[in-house]
Structure 1
Amino acid sequence: MVAVAALGFLVVLEFAARRYGLPGPITNQVREVVFAPKSGGLLYAAMALMMVVLTWRQRCIAVAAAIGIDLAFSLVRWAVGAETTGGHPFGNGALWVILGCAVIAVTRRTGPERALLLKGVGLGLLLVTGRKTGDTWLLITSKTRPAVLDQYVATADHALGNPSWLVGRAVTATGPVGFNVLDVVYGQLAVAAVVVALYQLRGVAVERRFPGHHLVRTFLVIGLLGPAFYMIFPVVGPIFAYGTGTDYWATVSLWSPDIPSSGHWAVADLWPQTPSPINVPLPMPFDEITPRNCMPSLHTAWAVALFVHSRKGPRVLRYAGTFWLVATLVATLGFGYHYGVDLIAGVVFALTVEAALRSFDRGWDRSGIRLVAYGAAVFAALLVSYRFLPLEMAEHPWVYGPLLLLAMTSVVYGYVRTTTAWEPRATPRGPAAPAGVRAAAGTRV
């Protein structure tokens, strides 16, 4: 049933993209079987997820096959003079291996072994398909929402002291080194999530079953539900609405020209030097290219989910999860992609989704329902306040700023308190009994 629903959703998105004369998620994924993929690293990360169901010998064979196929593709492209502009020179091999394992599962496996291998293939393909689905969602937001609400969000952001402007100036001051580090963290968030997921799924090949809940589930649900709010609350971000788009970073020779400039649509060239003025906000028209992907900040939501799931890992994984969360928050603000209020909404959204998935996995009870309902209510209240109270928030920052932080903190506290109570408590162990007593206790009568 879930597979049928997912396929139907992909078909709908495919037709929606075709309506605007562009390929949809299915077409884009099929193209990467032969043509240079958009993200080779993501395909290899997907293959790594798929390999959690394989033995070590099978994993070595799969990796060798993927590398060999990529080398063959590179030689063919070099021989025919094909270019990889807009794509990576590697990654096709990983996709071929994933598809090959699907064929093996259907033709060479039976029973539980077939089911387990197909689950591994599905897990890997879900990661890749989720990326393609997100790209199509962003296209739809830019085509169907001609007006954006950045003036409302920027005005509300005065309650927090305009953090995007502050962090934007700080990132600019760090020069190319600081920018490039943050750029890698921001761009490779999915790969970092795969590392955490691999730790969580490390026992699948031995136990021959998947755990009830893991990071990949949260990542996919966040990516599926989040863009729906982009349609309700379209926002492009300060670098586009109050700056010169990518032209700003091009002037300091730090930016990759993947996103076209939208500076002539901006209110004024203010970001990050001058905070936006406090005026009565209005919807503003914008181009049909820039995604309306700010409210809530899904990069923040994904980073929060990664942080939460890394808490039970070894020390190095916990440190990495903390670093990725902090660096992602700095990057989302410092690159001008988000306002501060976007991040608050992203934190609440992530914890609400995570609580819902954990409640579903363990069986809905009163505490789970109460936590999810409270998180959803706070999230809705945030969106409503950003839309209808931005001027009041900007004019009374000492009231609304702490209230926004308190609302987010209350969800964090509720999540920690509730989920801690869900954890099984270890039975205290008393002092060991003498050997003679233990022997007597184990003697049958």
Structure 2
Amino acid sequence: MYAGMALMMVVLTWRQRFIALGIAVCIDIPFFLGRWAVDSKLTFGNGALWVMLGCAVIALTRRTGRERTLLLKGVGLGLLLVAGRKTGDAWLLITAKTRPTVLDQYVATADHALGNPSWVVGRLVAATGPTGIRLLDFVYVQLAVAAVVVALYQLRRVSVERRFPRHHLVRTFLVIGLLGPGIYMIFPVVGPIFAYGTGSEHWTNPDLWPSTPPTAQWAVADLWPDTPPSISTPQAFPFDEVTPRNCMPSLHTAWATAIFIHSRKGPRILRYAGTFWLLATLGATLGFGYHYGVDIIAGVVFTLTIEAGLRTLDRGWDRSGVRFTAYGATVFTALLLSYRFLPVEMGKNPWLFGPLLLLAMGSVIYGYVRTMKLWEPKATLIRQREPESQPELV
């Protein structure tokens, strides 16, 4: 809630921001004390929500023209972040309830082409001990906060210029969250720690998932992260109605990639933070057993295609952008089809399909970078006229 309010406050002056934050905290304190008195779960956010709704009322009743539009856009941006989070949680539940079988055997077989990276990184993460595990878990859970930090930097001049930039991270973030669950419904996958491990019970030592129900009885076998599954004819198998089918593609990888892209134009510390968050997210998604390696490749292609599509829309459907967006969508579709219909061939021929997968992802990365460079404004060199020599005065 407070992250959403922070996005909303980019349209306010500094004085208005302090007033809004103070009101939100004052509203939350009684709620906090009430929950603490009845020994309930201590959460914050009521004050931030009330402040955002109050700003919407002020925009409708006390503002006119461009100022009203700007304030409503700010409120809408903050509420979209909150609504996107709740909608995502609802979609995860829908995938678990409506997809009784999962396709993990297909993905795990295809993952042999990459050397089963989830199994390798899983052992490395376990070797770091509780400290390393908690650090990666913090990075994984606080991904939205990192996105808000980058977005606040991009939107830092809205209160001065009184307009939003043409494109920013929040747009990409929301579109990824909007389209991703649709792929979950087509390609339901629960992840290696659930399909080939003990699920939440595996991380009971650092106590990462204290309230997650056990899923070991639904697993194909207890193999993760010590023993990769053998290559055999894959088939769909049933799973519980609680665990989300949220692996293909890896949306955490997609969001971390978007943060990395949008932090490139920031100061050095922001660029370093974006790089760290991407690498740490990759380590967490693989090391915690949430995703397979082929999920990561699909997530990167997914993000670059969406990012290019949004920028192409802003540029009036530029031809080069349309071509690249179509290419990215084609590669993404080809990846999903190969995971579904060619997993055995991919697993048995890793020296062929492993480089092909990396080449497909690399081609999309190269195409994206090349297209973005074509759109960068050309620096024009203005030659200064040299002073004309004056004849000497005699």
* TM > 0.5 fold call: yes
State the match for 1:48 in structure 2.
Answer: 6
Question: Is residue 2:330 matched to residue 1:341?
Answer: no
State the match for 1:320 in structure 2.
Answer: 273
Match of 1:155 among 97, 102, 109: 109
Counterpart contact for 1:179–1:254, Cα < 8 Å: no
Matches within 5 A, 1:239-318: 239-250=193-204, 252-318=205-271
Higher relative contact order (CA 8 A, sep 6+): 2
SS of residue in 2 equivalent to 1:259:
coil
- CA separation of 1:116/1:390 partners in 2, compared to 1, >3 Å: closer, same or farther? same
CA–CA distance in structure 2, aligned partners of residues 367 and 160 of structure 1? 31
Moved over 6 A (4+): none
Question: Is residue 2:139 matched to residue 1:185?
Answer: yes
Question: Is residue 2:23 matched to residue 1:65?
Answer: yes
CA–CA distance in structure 2, aligned partners of residues 264 and 44 of structure 1? 39
Residue deviations 1:281-314, cap 9 Å, x none? Answer: 0001111110000000000000011100000000
CA–CA distance in structure 2, aligned partners of residues 298 and 167 of structure 1? 19
State the match for 1:164 in structure 2.
Answer: 118
Match of 2:52 among 84, 95, 98: 98
Q: CA deviation at 1:259?
A: 2.5
State the match for 1:223 in structure 2.
Answer: 177
Letter in 1 for 2:25: I
Residue deviations 1:46-67, cap 9 Å, x none? Answer: 1100000000000010111111
Counterpart contact for 1:351–1:411, Cα < 8 Å: yes
Counterpart contact for 1:152–1:387, Cα < 8 Å: yes
Letter in 2 for 1:315: R
CA–CA distance in structure 1, aligned partners of residues 68 and 369 of structure 2? 38
Residue deviations 1:76-125, cap 9 Å, x none? Answer: 3345x2511xxx42221111111111111112111211111110000000
Letter in 2 for 1:309: H
Counterpart contact for 1:222–1:353, Cα < 8 Å: yes
Question: Is residue 2:149 matched to residue 1:195?
Answer: yes
Match of 1:372 among 312, 315, 325: 325
Q: How many residues align?
A: 390
State the match for 1:15 in structure 2.
Answer: none
State the match for 2:32 in structure 1.
Answer: 74
Residue deviations 1:127-181, cap 9 Å, x none? Answer: 0000000011111111111010000000000000000000000000000111111
State the match for 1:393 in structure 2.
Answer: 346
SS of residue in 1 equivalent to 2:235:
coil
> Structure 2 unaligned runs (5+)?
none
State the match for 2:188 in structure 1.
Answer: 234
Question: Is residue 2:358 matched to residue 1:405?
Answer: yes
CA–CA distance in structure 1, aligned partners of residues 244 and 341 of structure 2? 23
Letter in 1 for 2:306: V
Superposition CA RMSD, Å = 1.5
- CA separation of 1:228/1:69 partners in 2, compared to 1, >3 Å: closer, same or farther? same
Q: TM-score, normalised by structure 1?
A: 0.86
> Structure 1 unaligned runs (5+)?
1-42, 438-445
CA–CA distance in structure 2, aligned partners of residues 326 and 283 of structure 1? 31
Q: CA deviation at 1:432?
A: 7.1
Residue deviations 1:297-332, cap 9 Å, x none? Answer: 000000011100000000000000000000000100
CA–CA distance in structure 2, aligned partners of residues 362 and 332 of structure 1? 34
Letter in 2 for 1:102: A
- CA separation of 1:112/1:188 partners in 2, compared to 1, >3 Å: closer, same or farther? same
Q: CA deviation at 1:391?
A: 0.4
Q: CA deviation at 1:435?
A: 11
SS of residue in 1 equivalent to 2:356:
helix
CA–CA distance in structure 2, aligned partners of residues 133 and 337 of structure 1? 21
State the match for 1:442 in structure 2.
Answer: none
Counterpart contact for 2:24–2:48, Cα < 8 Å: yes
CA–CA distance in structure 1, aligned partners of residues 382 and 247 of structure 2? 51
Identity %: 74
State the match for 2:336 in structure 1.
Answer: 383
Counterpart contact for 2:110–2:342, Cα < 8 Å: yes
Counterpart contact for 1:176–1:254, Cα < 8 Å: no
SS of residue in 1 equivalent to 2:128:
helix
Counterpart contact for 1:45–1:194, Cα < 8 Å: yes
CA–CA distance in structure 1, aligned partners of residues 330 and 210 of structure 2? 39
CA–CA distance in structure 2, aligned partners of residues 215 and 298 of structure 1? 15
State the match for 2:40 in structure 1.
Answer: 83
Q: CA deviation at 1:436?
A: 11
Q: CA deviation at 1:72?
A: 1.9
Q: CA deviation at 1:431?
A: 5.0
Letter in 2 for 1:65: I
Counterpart contact for 1:157–1:340, Cα < 8 Å: yes
Residue deviations 1:334-355, cap 9 Å, x none? Answer: 0000000000000000000000
CA–CA distance in structure 1, aligned partners of residues 277 and 33 of structure 2? 36
State the match for 2:96 in structure 1.
Answer: 142
Counterpart contact for 2:133–2:206, Cα < 8 Å: no
